[in-house]
Amino acid sequence: MLKKQRKIVLVGGPGTGKTSIVNKLDELGYACFHEISRHVTLEAQKEGIEQLFLEDPILFSKKLLEGREQQYLKANSLENDLIFFDRGIPDVLAYLVFSNSNYPSVFKEKSNQYKYDTIFHFKPWEKIHETDNERYESFEETQKIDHYLVKTYTSLNYNLITVPFDSIENRVDFILNTIKNS
């Protein structure tokens, strides 16, 4: 009997440790889709736009939505039982609401269309929060973004499982054990 593929999203504000966990899961051989916003930001910077999200949140969000939709569809073609995503499609909607942007209905429609099985939430953690060329948000902004992420996923009827503050290895163990026992 074939096992059902489970799509698992790691969600939380910038600098909460999601990427470190996805990198570790990838290293362990799990199927992982990495965050694409850095790629979109870097491409815009090559065109002279320092922060595309700040200058044109709708264009930035359309590029993210397109990329995350492609990741989701590609995951459907994989034979892996577990697929991990560093952010999901609803993240795009949450950021648009956070930025107080008027956005087309497609962002909410896609968030409802593409469903995930399990959502792991990474709370803001000041101890590990850092900024860089692509991650410009302060810790206070991360806390606000996190609020909108939680609100958005909850409004889409997802139950978020909070990942405790701990080492990368222990956080990965928590995630894998939670999946195994559910």
Cβ neighbors of 153 (< 8 A, separation 6 or more) are 11, 90, 94, 119, 121, 160
**Closest CA relative to residue 27, chosen from 172, 162, 164, 180:** 172
Q: What's the rounded Cα separation, in Å, for the pair 10 and 16?
A: 10
Please, which pLDDT band fits residue 156 given cuts at 50, 70 and 90? very high
Please, which pLDDT band fits residue 1 given cuts at 50, 70 and 90? very low
What does each C-alpha distance from 38 to 52, 136, 157 come to in angstroms?
A: 11, 11, 28
Is 181 exposed, middle or buried (CB count within 10 Å of its CB: 0-12, 13-18, 19+)? Answer: exposed
Q: Where are the chain's structural domains? A: 6-180
Architecture of domain 6-180: 3-Layer(aba) Sandwich (3.40)
Please, which pLDDT band fits residue 45 given cuts at 50, 70 and 90? confident
Q: Which amino acid belongs to residue 39?
A: H
Residue 8 phi/psi, 5-degree rounding, is -120, 125
Q: Are 114 and 7 in contact (CB under 8 A)?
A: no
pTM of the predicted model as reported, rounded to 2 decimal places: 0.90
pLDDT tens readout for residues 73-107: 999 999 999 999 999 999 999 999 998 888 899 99
